[in-house]
Structure 1
Amino acid sequence: MIVTLAKRWSVGGWLIAAILLLPLAALIIQAIPPDPEHFDHLANTVLNSYIITTILLVLLVSIGCLLLGVPVAWLIAMCRFPGHRHFQWAMLLPLAMPGYLIAYVYTDLLDYAGPIQSWLRDWMGWQRPSDYQFPQVRSLGGAAVMLSLVLFPYVYMMARTAFMEQSGALIQASRTMGLSPLRSFFRLSLPLARPAITVGVALAAMETLADFATVSYFAVNTLTTAVYDTWLSYGSLASAAKLSCMMLAAALALILGERFARRQKQRFQNNHGAAGTGVYLLTGLKKWLAFGFCALLLGLSFVLPAAILLDYAFEYFDADRLGALWHHGGNSFLVAGLTAVTTAILALLLQFMSRMSPRALDRWPARVSGFGYAMPGTVLAIGILAPMVWLDNGINYVAEWLSLPLPGLLLSGSLLALIFGYCVRFIAVPLGSVEASYQRLSPNLDKATLSMGHGPSVILQKVHLPLLRRGLLAASLIVFLEAMKELPAALLLKPIGFETLSTYVYQYVSDEALELGALPALLIVALGLIPIVMLNRNLENQP
């Protein structure tokens, strides 16, 4: 029975993996032909600066996420102070805020003509820019701060879970040894949580590597903007593919580091029980400092930008644009919903085959299918359009040979390209969630069902699916959130005349007129709050 099952599911699993890895293969093939005219020119002029800027940005954002996410995670998980229960879920809210929105809001606030510098000039009597020094917002440092404010929840989620899983007995033992809360944090809590924190930092770093809109708005030249410009401005697909392969190598290195950290995290969790009474009750000035730190971080990362967008939406409200808003919102909801459902189904099938097959080789489709998460949107678009254009050309050639009407861009110019790109980009999320859920299911459940004469379809539908439903739903909601915010892939893969909320808002951001696009921007944030609430419930109910 087991051997028959393995043969039945193996072909399907490998076929799914091959389709999901097709963009990666196409990208590598596109990078093989030499392109001395463009790539050599890039290598001899600006390529080194692009690489250095990208590394610095990833490093700065990683440090920023550590400095913001780890302290607030420890405070909320291990300390009791006014409002800590509300901050548990509120610290996830910045995930709903696209980076380019917060970048525009703070640029408008902090620029020379903005209200803060204008107030400073009036108060201090300054007349010219040379009279004072003010940090440049549109800079590498400014981009790092903006991205840190929206990406630190990745570190917060992983670190908070790790702190909550640490044994209360260990915390109590550190108290009896005379360690203060601060010393206990550095000598006990932080080392034990280090693998989980590494996972969060790796996720934030990959999102930074994939960012296009924020760095483009701030005129920070990274490899992502280089790929976009090389492909669309200079028309050199081969050079863009070579740059994309460089980014892909960096992202794969981050993924390998994240997987290594996951193995270390598993080892630590096996050695320590769940948290018990090992919490600190803050009193006096300490509790208000903790409250102030959490409130300030939440205010800067979500409350203030959301309030400004809400003010813009009321001030510049135009009923004539509501039709376009609902139309583009429907497009975004359709694409994000189809992506969430499709990735959930594919991830479930891949992990089911990996679990049920006795052959070690059949574990690999589930392991490699998530590599698309390492491909930024601009990189992914190259890998998807290349094979689809080839298929379109083949279909048109056959149609011409049969004297039939030419279908044109049947695949590359359709919604299928966009949804396929989103599936390749985000399937890693449900793959990881289903894998983690399967690790908590005893293999004896499968053996018992098989011994009763039931086949794999019964095992999947009647046994696994009910037990995996919660993790699968949480992963689908995260995919929905990410698909709602995704911009680079949407810009390059969307059909002509098709707009999502992200591309619609980005048009206003590019024209520096976000005031007119504040309402659709708020709709992106509002729709993103739904999976965040569900995600918080999942975190709160973890054992």
Structure 2
Amino acid sequence: MPVLALALTALSSQAASIWPHLAANVIPVALANTAMLLLGVGLLCTVMGVGTAWLVTQYEFPGRRVFEWLLVLPLAMPTYITAYIYVEFLGFQGPLQSVLRALTGWRSLRDYWFPDPRNLAGAICIMAIVLYPYVYLSVRALFGLQGATIVESARTLGASRNRLFWRIGLPMARPALAAGLTLALLETLNDIGATEYLGVRSLTLSIYTTWLNRGSLPGAAQIACVMLLVVVALILVEARLRGQRRFALPVRQPRAVGRIRLAGRPALGAAIACALPVLFGAVLPIGFLIVEVLQRGLAQQLDAALLRNLANAVILSALAAGLVVALGLCIVAASRQGREAWLKPLARVASLGYAVPGTVLALGLLVPLAAFDNAVANAARALFGASPGLLLIGSGAALVIAYVVRFLAIAISGIDSGFSRVSPRIDDAARALGATAPEVLRRVHWPLARPAIAAAALLVFVDCLKELPATLLLRPLNVDTLATIVYGHASRGVFEEGALAGLLIVLAGLYPAIILARASGKRAG
């Protein structure tokens, strides 16, 4: 429905006169910036994610077990909050330049040069340091499943450490790398706060400014259609990279690879390589927020207004998480128990909403949902002489719908992983004893898959809490969440005033990130 609404809006009569201007002045620059942003983020995420995953799975060095789950923590940091933090931290009045001036005697920027993060290169580095865990998690799980027989055979044939990585490890991890990298790039496409604050005119930012600042809904729909083509291209590239490769493990659990123990400089180098992404992706940003809250006395902001905004965020995210988990449970159970051939492909189609950026999704939902609200209001006015107002858009239901569409894939993936550990023989035994399909779901699947279902609900809740583009565009008037508070302060140039709201978002995401790291580690083990 959102895609169809976008296409109809982009092809409307009003849009015909807008397209030449967009094609000549807006889309080429936005498309070039987006392509360079995706390329840079993809390269850095690959280097950091694959490199750290190889180190923690193949080598033994001081701190390896701690780094194994610490490397996931940057997932708790929204990209826009990280961008705000680094602009403040690296700015002229920030702590880093202030210390340099105090140590060297420099007084102004005429005395020295310092890199400015407000450009395309800064956006690439900042977003990559937050999004690399998508690659790390998927690749680490596959590296951990490689049987010792393959690796030891290669070592016996004289393969060096580098050759072992390039000829065996990386080719076998290619499907996982493609999947994790696609998730990171889709999150890059979805971002609006970081790109706007860092001065990068991406496709997402162009949609937002064309719609709200210039008041052109058809023009925004045309840019959104171009962005959807970029999304389709990413998915096709992911399928191409993955190819037809399938890797089978023995029926018996493969023997784990013995890690090579490092000592001296190699051990120190491995520890530093794993520590740097954690330092710049999680420790420094979280520490900056805590210092800002304490130094500025922002704890007093925890008043009725902030609690009300916190309640808005929690209620909307909890509603969406509940609906997403309920729908995901029904979809996974139906595809597992049903015998129809079309059920599993339909379940995959239901997961495609994650590939649609929040800005595009909000724009596509606005037209049909507004039409529904207007139709209900007109009917109520004709029948009862009174209008109920905007039922979906005015109540926040439109935002919950956007959350459900966008994050349903997370619930389906998580619940399916939990159901896959329940043997089909248990289902057959329950049916042989006379249990109906709902009874099997309630008395067998639910108790056994409950940890996976709870983890999926938690991840969806945190993703809804962090989601900025759809929240900005579909929230009701005079309704704010933690994400919009942080964005509002940053857009006015006083991000530090929203440090408490940013810290609350980050703290909410830390616990699910740790759970995800430990669960992934157990699966890899």
Q: What's the TM-score, normalizing by structure 1?
A: 0.90
Distance in structure 1 (CA, Å) of the matches to 2:353 and 2:438: 28
1:98 aligns with 2:78: yes
What's 2:11 paired with? 32
**Which one of the candidate residues 325, 328, 331 is aligned to 2:306?**
325
Select between 432-441 and 192-201 the one with higher mean Cα deviation. Answer: 432-441
Name the residue aligned to 1:355.
336
1:402-445 CA distances to partner (integer Å, 9 max, x unpaired)? 13311111111112111111111110111122334444444333
User: Which one-letter code corresponds to 1:239 in the other structure?
Assistant: G
Cα contact 2:53–2:140 (8 A) shared by 1? yes
Matches within 5 A, 1:295-444: 295-318=275-298, 320-323=300-303, 324-444=305-425
Query: Does the Cα contact within 8 Å between 1:347 and 1:366 map onto a contact in 2?
Result: no
**1:470 corresponds to which letter in structure 2?**
P
- One-letter code of the match for 2:6? L
* Alignment partner, residue 236 of structure 1: 216
Measured in 2, the distance between the counterparts of 1:334 and 1:358 equals 37
Change (3 A) 1:256 1:278: farther
Cα distance, 1:269–1:341 mapped onto 2, change above 3 Å: farther
Alignment partner of 1:518 is 2:496: no
Q: What secondary structure, in the 3-state scheme, does the structure 1 residue paired with 2:39 have? A: helix
8 Å CA contact 2:27–2:223 kept in 1: the answer is no
Matched position secondary structure for 1:360: coil
Shift of 1:510: 1.3
Q: Check the 8 A contact 1:98/1:150 in 2, yes or no.
A: yes
Change (3 A) 1:319 1:115: closer
* 2: CA distance, partners of 1:310 / 1:151: 22
Q: Deviations over 1:292-328 (max 9, x none)?
A: 1212221111111111111100011245421133222
User: Distance between the aligned counterparts of 1:448 and 1:273, measured in 2?
Assistant: 25
> Could you list the per-position Cα deviations for residues 187-233 of structure 1 after superposition, in whole angstroms to 9, with x for gaps in the alignment?
21111112111111110000001100000001100100111111112
Rounded Cα–Cα distance in structure 2 between residues aligned with 1:45 and 1:205: 25
What value does the CA root-mean-square deviation take over the aligned residues? Answer: 2.3
Aligned partner (choices 42, 57, 65) of residue 77 of structure 1:
57
Number of residue pairs matched?
Answer: 522
Equivalent positions of 1:448-467 (< 5 A) are 448-467=429-448
Task: Report which stretch shifted further, 101-110 or 408-417.
Answer: 101-110
Q: Any conservation in 2 of the 1:80–1:281 contact (CA below 8 Å)?
A: yes
Of the structure 1 ranges 342-351 and 247-256, higher mean CA displacement relative to structure 2 is found in 247-256
Gaps of 5+ in 1: 1-21
Aligned partner of 1:201 in structure 2 is: 181
Q: Is the 8 A contact 1:165 1:272 kept in 2?
A: no
Distance across 1 between alignment mates of 2:320 and 2:213: 30
Identity of matched residues, %: 39
Contact kept in structure 2, 1:166 and 1:273, CA below 8 Å? no
Q: Show the counterpart of 1:152.
A: 132
Report if the CA contact (8 A) 2:298-2:500 is conserved: no
1-side partners of 2:162 and 2:115: how far apart?
32
Residue 502 (structure 1) shift: 0.7
2:259 matched residue in structure 1: 279
Q: CA deviation at 1:383?
A: 1.6
Alignment-derived partner of residue 171 in structure 1: 151
1:101, distance to aligned residue in structure 2 (A): 1.6
| 1:143 pairs with one of 123, 128, 131 | 123
The answer on whether the counterparts of 2:74 and 2:129 sit within 8 Å (CA) in structure 1 is yes
Work out whether residues 24 and 372 of structure 1, in 8 Å CA contact, stay in contact via their aligned partners in 2.
no
Match for residue 512 of structure 2?
Answer: 531
Tell me the distance in 2 between the aligned counterparts of 1:519 and 1:306: 11
Once residues 73 and 446 of structure 1 are traced to their aligned partners in structure 2, the CA distance between those partners, rounded to angstroms, is 37
Decide whether the 8 Å contact of 2:299 with 2:500 is kept in 1.
no
Q: What's the CA shift for 1:120?
A: 4.7
Instruction: Give, in whole Å, the separation in 1 of the partners of 2:29 and 2:82.
Output: 26
CA distance in 2, matches of 1:119, 1:541: 43
CA contact (8 A) 1:140 1:220 kept: yes
- Higher mean displacement: 228-237 or 207-216: 228-237
Structure 2 gaps, min length 5: none
Q: For 1:493-531, what per-residue CA distance to the aligned partner results, in whole angstroms no more than 9, with x for missing partners?
A: 111221111111111111221221111111111111121
Residue 184 in structure 1 maps to residue 164 in structure 2: yes
2:225 is the counterpart of 1:245: yes
**For residues 384 and 445 of structure 1, do their structure 2 counterparts lie closer, same or farther at Cα, with a shift above 3 Å needed?**
same
Q: TM-score, normalised by structure 2?
A: 0.93
Cα shift at 1:92:
1.0
